[in-house]
């Protein structure tokens, strides 16, 4: 809590009460002193001799001088002490005149010392002072009091502890250094990306005049031995794509724009490209960021991919046709096999089931085995004519004899049958072989047959 404020008209001036009885009553300064205390400032009010007549409550513990923590320490009041002793201010010798040099009692030493202090520490200016106890620094300001407040003279001494400000200053300086280092790192990274980017990278002003370009942009668009800076950015766009490029710039004012349009080299060669346009606001101006990605290789790759796709589709179609042909051939083989079984095997099987003697069954079993073997062999190999399987074993024996060139009676004697029976067999053989009514002898037909069963 602030100490009571003394009547400053008498205390500061040291004047007699009957000298100036008409002085108005001074306002209460308690709130002002409380504000100063909250701000960690020490305020000392002195008389005309520099003696402290009033101080903020924090003076004893915050003043930097030894006197404030010595004779006046331990909670004692700092009132009555010269303010320069409380602050350990160095006071040079004063040889000039004092304001009371012609006083009846002679010159006042206190006033002489105050004059020397004010000569060393000019009023109304900030001075940096150090603590006698530690390395702390303070800011000192000596403010003369107006005459209506202190007719006899006096001043307000404001002492500010600079430690919090120095801490803030140091922290701020560290942050500035960190931010500067981060900015330098960012600039270095941007420069590295800008210089090594695989795509062409350009910066232009609002009039599309090129401000900067990376090496890739220079390689694509710069004339031989020339530079891109200062040239119109539209010159890197193919003539037929200037309209879409300018439309993209209009959209880039709101949001980044990307589109595929034609680009043009310094030699006038056009190539497909992907343009990305952005408008970037810097501290002093707005610039356009233009990124150009060459799509020539991608176009060639896409064309090659289309060719390969067409080739694969053609091969796939051919393969499907081959598979279909193979399936048809397999079905044909299957159908042919079924037909051969029906014509060449099943009749023998039927004869085998109808046979009543072991000799006949063995004969037809041999025929079936031969027929199956013939079906498994190559188609060019000799095979038994299926019509011969319609013949009975006796009829087959007669056919073998006829093929050997034997005559009718010789065959009848060999088979031990009557000639008339032989003739009946011959008629049945011609009917089964389809020779009936044809001008083909049985011997001629059998001679043209590659093989006979049995």
pLDDT band at 52 (very low <50, low <70, confident <90, very high): very high
Question: Which pLDDT value is given to residue 7?
Answer: 37
pLDDT score, position 127: 92
d(CA 85, CA 114): 11
Using the Cα atoms of residue 253, residue 259, residue 260 and residue 265 in order, give the sign of their dihedral: positive
Given this model, what pLDDT does residue 108 score?
53
| pLDDT given for residue 65 in this prediction | 67
Q: Which pLDDT score, from 0 to 100, does residue 243 have?
A: 92
Quick one: pLDDT at residue 282? Answer: 78
- Give 358 or 406, the one with higher predicted confidence: 406
Provide the pLDDT confidence category of residue 110 given band limits of 50, 70 and 90.
low
Q: How far apart are CA 191 and CA 187, in angstroms?
A: 6
| Token couple for 308 | 């390969």
Q: Residue 288 in 3-state DSSP?
A: strand
More confident residue, 377 or 71: 377
Give the model's pLDDT for residue 126: 92
DSSP label of 159:
E
Residue-wise pLDDT tens digits, 147-181: 888 888 899 999 988 877 778 888 888 999 888 88
With bands split at pLDDT 50, 70 and 90, how would you rate the model's confidence at 251?
Answer: very high
User: How confident is the model over 12-30, as a mean pLDDT?
Assistant: 40
- Considering only CA atoms, which of 381, 398, 390 is closest in space to residue 450? 381
Output 20 or 34, whichever has higher pLDDT.
34
Q: How confident is the model at residue 272 (pLDDT cuts 50, 70, 90)?
A: very high
Ranges 82-86, 105-109, 431-435: which has the least confidence? 105-109
Separation between Cα atoms, residue 313 and residue 259, nearest integer Å: 32
**CATH assignment, 386-454:** 1.10.10.10
Mean pLDDT of 36-51: 80
pTM of the shown model: 0.40
CATH architecture of the region 8-161? 2-Layer Sandwich (3.30)
Print burial letters for 276-289: b (CB count within 10 Å at least 16), e (below 16): bbebeeeeeeebbe
Residue 310 to residue 204: CA distance in whole angstroms: 44
| pLDDT > 90? residue 258 | yes
Helix (H) or strand (E) holding 369: helix 358-376
pLDDT of residue 150: 83
Task: Give the separation between CA 150 and CA 147, rounded to whole angstroms.
Answer: 5
Name the helix (H) or strand (E) containing 31: helix 30-38
Residue 273 has φ and ψ, to the nearest 5°, of -150, 160
**pLDDT of 247 higher than 50:** yes
Burial grade of 38 (CB within 10 A; 0-12, 13-18, 19 or more): exposed
Structure tokens at 300: 């060639």
Contact indicator for 86, 68 with CB cutoff of 8 Å: yes
Residue 339 burial class via C-beta count within 10 angstroms: exposed 0-12, middle 13-18, buried 19 and up:
exposed
How far is CA 175 from each of CA 171, 172, 182, rounded to the nearest angstrom? 6, 5, 10
User: What confidence score (pLDDT) does residue 98 get?
Assistant: 43
Q: Quote the pLDDT of residue 449.
A: 77
Where does 65-154 show beta strands of DSSP type E?
126-130, 137-144
Interval 202-224 mean pLDDT:
89
- Name, in order, each residue with C-beta under 8 angstroms of 77's C-beta and a sequence gap of 6 or more: 3, 55, 60
Q: How far is CA 309 from CA 177, 313, 314, in A?
A: 60, 6, 9
Asked if 252 and 278 touch (Cβ cutoff 8 Å), the reply is yes
**pLDDT range class, residue 261, cuts 50, 70, 90:** very high
Domain 197-294 has CATH 3.30.110.40: no
Cα 405 from Cα 414, distance rounded (Å): 13
Letter string b/e over residues 58-80, b meaning 16 or more CB atoms within 10 A of that residue's CB: bbbebbbbbbbbeebeeeeebbe
Torsion sign, CA atoms 72, 78, 80, 85: positive
- The mean pLDDT of 371-385, rounded to a whole number, is 60
């Amino acid at each position: 809590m602030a100490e009571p404020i003394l009547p400053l008209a008498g205390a500061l001036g040291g004047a007699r009460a009957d000298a100036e009885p008409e002085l108005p009553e001074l306002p209460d300064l308690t709130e002002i002193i409380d504000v100063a205390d909250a701000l960690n400032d020490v305020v000392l009010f002195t008389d005309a001799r520099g003696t402290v007549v009033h101080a903020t409550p924090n003076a004893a513990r915050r003043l930097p001088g030894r006197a404030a923590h010595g004779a006046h320490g331990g909670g004692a009041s700092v009132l009555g002490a010269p303010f320069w002793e409380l602050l350990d201010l160095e006071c040079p010798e004063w040889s000039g005149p004092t304001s009371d040099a012609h006083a009846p009692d002679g010159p006042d030493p206190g006033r002489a010392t105050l004059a020397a202090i004010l000569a060393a520490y000019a009023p109304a200016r900030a001075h940096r002072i150090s603590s006698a106890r530690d390395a702390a620094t303070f800011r000192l300001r000596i403010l003369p009091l107006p005459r209506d407040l202190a007719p006899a003279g006096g001043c307000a001494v404001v002492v500010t502890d600079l430690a919090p400000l120095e801490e803030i200053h140091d922290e701020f300086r560290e942050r500035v250094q960190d931010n500067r280092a981060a900015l330098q790192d960012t600039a270095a990274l941007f420069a590295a990306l800008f210089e090594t980017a695989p795509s062409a990278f350009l910066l232009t002003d609002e009039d599309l005049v090129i401000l900067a370009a990376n090496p890739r942009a220079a390689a694509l668009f710069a004339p031989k031995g020339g530079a891109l800076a200062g040239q119109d950015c539209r010159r890197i766009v193919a003539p037929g794509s200037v309209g879409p490029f300018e439309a993209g710039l209009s959209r880039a004012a709101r949001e980044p724009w990307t589109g595929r349009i034609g680009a043009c080299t310094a030699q006038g060669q056009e190539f497909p490209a992907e343009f990305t346009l952005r408008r970037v606001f810097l501290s002093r101006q707005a610039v356009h960021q233009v990124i150009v990605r060459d799509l020539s290789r991608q176009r060639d790759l896409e064309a090659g991919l289309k060719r390969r796709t067409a080739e694969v589709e053609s091969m796939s179609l051919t393969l499907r046709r081959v598979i279909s042909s193979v399936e048809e051939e397999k079905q044909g083989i299957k159908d042919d096999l079924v037909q051969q079984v029906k014509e060449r095997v099943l009749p023998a099987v039927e004869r085998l089931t109808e046979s009543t003697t072991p000799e006949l069954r063995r004969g037809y079993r041999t025929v079936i085995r031969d027929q199956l073997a013939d079906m498994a062999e190559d188609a060019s190999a000799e095979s038994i004519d299926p019509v011969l399987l319609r013949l009975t074993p006796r009829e087959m024996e007669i056919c073998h004899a006829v093929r050997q060139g034997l005559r009718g009676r010789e065959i009848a004697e060999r088979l031990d049958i009557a000639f008339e029976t032989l003739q009946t067999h011959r008629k049945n053989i011609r009917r089964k072989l389809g020779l009936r009514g044809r001008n083909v002898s049985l011997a001629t037909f059998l001679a043209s047959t590659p093989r006979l069963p049995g």
